[in-house]
Amino acid sequence: MEEKINALKQELEAEAGQVRSKEELSAFWQKYLGKNGSIPALMKGLRDVPKEDRPAAGKTINEFKVWAEARYQELNAEIERIELEARNKSEQVDITMPGTVRPMGSLHPITLVKNQIIDVFSGMGFEIYEGPEIEDDDHNFTRLNVPKNHPARDMQDTFYVAEDIVLRTQTSGGQIRVMDREKPPIKVLVPGRVFRSDSDATHSPMFHQMEGLVVDKGITLCDLQGMLDKFVQALFGPEVKTRLRPSYFPFTEPSVEVDVSCFECGGKGCPLCKHTGWIEVLGAGVVHHSVLENCGIDPNVYSGFAFGIGIERIAMLKYGINNIGLMFENDLRFLKQFND
């Protein structure tokens, strides 16, 4: 037994000198100390040793096993040291080299304005809801009091995905979904991308909209104007005022266009406001009783107002951008202007 152990020890020591990696160390363990390794095989061979010699043989094998395990730990520590040195060498930094300057990024102007609008209205207690961009005809048109063949559909030149399935032309469908699942009082803001067949310096076939809805008892246009005053003052300055002009939208009655006093000239007249002193910013109105009925809300008990804001338009006014296409071209010369 001692001769066998001495031979195995010499073999083990010779192989230990060849171990240079974690993989080789693992193979070394399996060969000598693993469940089916050479040293456990010695223990199994004790049954062939005469009974009176087994205690001494077992002691010798255990001492050899302890030595082999200690040798394995030495190899493990040495390999870890070698790998650490190699890693440190590869990760060395030459402190005499100039530092690498990482350019500071920024949010896109659309995102900046979207966040500012959400901050204002969430401070007034509005919840935020983002509906699907692919919408069915029922939510996008019919339940908003725009039935098939209604002339208002022509103004939106819809992108159809399939029959009665469209890329939404407005985020108003999200308002319908909220009124379906919630009962008044409701205060919700619905931001998102919308799609229409427009493309010129002030329009894009894809743009971002933010629509708001309030439904409760006793809601009037006065509540709408008071809320919008707070909104435009937060966005454009404390001196800005709003003006409501009669308009038409099929889902509100009465409907209004909302102007703000020019924040560039203070209402005196300038190129920005086309020398009128006022700038149109959004459309709004009192929610049509048919829209409330379509959502199971009694218009004799509840009323509400809704408004829609084009985020690109607000960004163009706020930052003096004269072409909506600049916002979608990924031109760093344009985007770097918004690093504040």
Using CA atoms, how far apart are residues 221 and 233, in angstroms rounded to an integer? 18
Let me know how long the chain is. 340
**How many angstroms separate the CA atoms of 156 and 29, rounded?**
74
Which helix (H) or strand (E) is 312 found in, with range?
Answer: helix 311-319
Element of type H or E holding 179: helix 172-181
Cα 333–336–340 angle (5° rounding)?
Answer: 155
Using alpha carbons, select from 307, 301, 292, 217 the residue that is nearest to residue 256.
Answer: 307
Asked whether residue 211 is marked as a ligand-binding residue, the answer is no
Sign of CA dihedral 283, 289, 294, 297: positive
CA 330, chain centre distance (Å): 19
Residues annotated in a binding site for Mg(2+) = 253
Residues annotated in a binding site = 253
